[in-house]
A and B are shown apart, each in its own frame.
Chain A
Amino acid sequence: MTQELVWRIAGGSGDGIDSTSQNFAKALMRSGLDVFTHRHYPSRIRGGHTYVEIRAGPEPVRSRGDGYNFLLALGDSFARNPQEDAYYGNEEVKPLAENLDELREGGVIVYDEGLVDIDDVPDFEQRVEENGWHVYPMDLRAIAREHGREVMRNTAGVGATAALLEYDMEHIQGLMEDRMSGDVLEANLDILQMVYDEVEEMEFSHDLRMPTGSHDEEQVLLSGSNAIAYGAIDEGCRFIAGYPMTPWTEVFTLMTQHLPEIGGISEQVEDEIAAAALALGASHAGVKAMSGSSGGGFALMSEPLGLAEMTETPVVLVEAMRAGPSTGMPTKPEQADLEHVLYTSQGDSCRVVFAPGNVAEAYDQTRAAFRIAYDYQLPAIVLYDQKLSGELRNVDESFFDREPNPDLGATLTEEEIAEAAHHASGKFQRFQHDPDNDKGVSPRSIPGQKDGRFLATGNEHTPEGHISEDPNNRVAQLSRRRRKLESIREELDAEESSHQTYHGPDDADYGIVTFGSQQGTVLEALDRLTDAGHDVRAMGVSDMMPFPDAEMTEFLESVEQAMVVEMNGSAQFRGLIQKELGRFGPKLNSLLKYNGDPFEPHEVVEGFEAIIEGDEPAPTTEFVPAAGD
Chain B
Amino acid sequence: MSAFNAIGENREVEREEFTPGIEPQATWCPGCGDFAVLKSLKGAMSDLGKSPDEILLATGIGCSGKLSSYFESYGFHTIHGRSLPIARAAKLANPDLEVVAAGGDGDGYGIGGNHFMHTARENHDMTYIVFNNEIFGLTKGQTSPTSPKGHKSKTQPHGSAKDPIRPLSLALTSGASYVARTAAVNPNQAQEILTEAIEHDGFAHVDFLTQCPTWNKDAKQYVPYVDVQQNDDYDFDISDRKEAAEMMYETESALYEGKVLTGRFYHDENRHSYGSEKRSVGEMPEEPLAERYHDADYEWERSYDLLDAHK
Contacts and interface: CB of A to CB of B under 8 A. Distances in A.
Contacts of A450: 4-6, 53
A406 interface: yes
Given A303-B79, A465-B75, A452 B53 contact: yes
A206 B290 CA distance: 62
Given A262-B301, A277-B85, A449 B289 contact: no
Given A233-B302, A236-B293, A451 B69 contact: no
Interface string A240-270: 0100000000000000001010111111011
A281 B5 contact: no
Interface stretch (A115-123, A282-290, A328-336, A570-578): A282-290
Contact of A238 (B85, B87, B278, B292): B292
B75 A456 contact: yes
30 contacts: A218-B311, A219-B311, A222-B310, A229-B303, A233-B303, A234-B303, A236-B300, A265-B289, A266-B283, A269-B118, A270-B115, A273-B115, A274-B115, A277-B89, A281-B86, A281-B87, A282-B90, A286-B93, A286-B94, A400-B304, A404-B302, A423-B21, A425-B21, A446-B3, A447-B4, A454-B74, A455-B68, A456-B75, A458-B77, A465-B75
Contact of B86 (A218, A226, A284, A287): A284
B293 A286 contact: yes
A267 B300 contact: no
Contacts of A280: 86, 89
A455 B52 CA distance: 12
B292 A263 contact: yes
A226 B303 CA distance: 10
A220 B75 contact: no
B20 A239 contact: no
A274 B89 CA distance: 10
B285 A285 contact: no
Contact of B289 (A239, A278, A284): A239
Contact of B300 (A282, A404, A448): A404
A449 B6 CA distance: 6
Contact of A286 (B21, B72, B290, B304): B290
B261 to A, nearest CB: 30
Most chain A CB atoms below 10 A, which of B3, B97, B115, B290 = B290
B273 interface: no
Contact of B290 (A414, A446, A465, A466): A446
Nearest to B83: A277
B63 to A, nearest CB: 13
A467 interface: yes
B78 interface: yes
B69 A455 contact: yes
Contact of B82 (A229, A273, A284): A273
A403 B82 CA distance: 36
Interface of B: 3-7, 20-22, 24, 52-54, 56, 58, 61, 66, 68-69, 72-79, 82, 85-94, 96-97, 114-115, 117-118, 278, 282-285, 289-290, 292-294, 298, 300-304, 306-307, 310-311
B311 A447 contact: no
A311 B278 CA distance: 29
A449 B94 CA distance: 12
Contacts of A265: 92-93, 278, 283-285, 289
Nearest to A287: B93
Given A306-B79, A446-B4, 5 more contacts: A269-B85, A284-B86, A286-B94, A401-B304, A406-B300
Which label, helix, strand, loop or mixed, suits the secondary structure of the A interface? mixed
A231 B306 CA distance: 12
B306 A230 contact: yes
A238 B68 CA distance: 28
Interface in A377-425: 397, 400-404, 406, 408, 413-414, 423-425
B77 to A, nearest CB: 4
Nearest to B287: A263
Closest A-B pairs by Cβ, 4 of them: A281-B89, A448-B4, A230-B303, A457-B77
Contact of A270 (B58, B66, B79, B114): B114
Contact of B307 (A264, A273, A397, A426): A397
Interface residues of A, number: 81
Nearest to B89: A281
Contacts of B97: 285, 447-448
B167 to A, nearest CB: 18
B300 A453 contact: no
A304 interface: yes
Residue among A266, A280, A288, A454 with most chain B CB within 10 A: A280
B117 A453 contact: no
B20 A285 contact: no
Given A270-B115, A414-B3, A448-B94, A455 B75 contact: yes
Contact of B56 (A285, A287, A403): A285
A459 interface: yes
Contacts of B282: 260
Nearest to B295: A406
B93 to A, nearest CB: 4
Contacts of B283: 260, 265-266
Nearest to B87: A281
A279 interface: yes
A287 B20 contact: no
B69 A278 contact: no
A63 B3 CA distance: 48
Contact of A452 (B69, B74, B93): B74
B285 A263 contact: yes
B156 to A, nearest CB: 26
Interface string A198-233: 000000000000000000001111100010011101
A453 B74 contact: yes
A456 B73 CA distance: 11
A448 B55 CA distance: 7
A454 B55 CA distance: 11
B307 A400 contact: yes
A271 interface: yes
A602 B188 CA distance: 78
Given A234-B302, A265-B289, A397 B311 contact: yes
A529 to B, nearest CB: 34
A448 B293 contact: no
B68 A406 contact: no
A277 B86 contact: yes
Contacts of A229: 303
Contacts of B289: 238-239, 263-265, 287
A427 interface: yes
Nearest to B20: A425
Nearest to A220: B310
A427 B89 contact: no
Contacts of A426: 20-21, 72
B3 A449 contact: yes
A287 B3 contact: no
Contacts of B303: 229-231, 233-234, 400
Contact of A424 (B21, B53, B72): B21
Nearest to A395: B310
A258 B290 contact: no
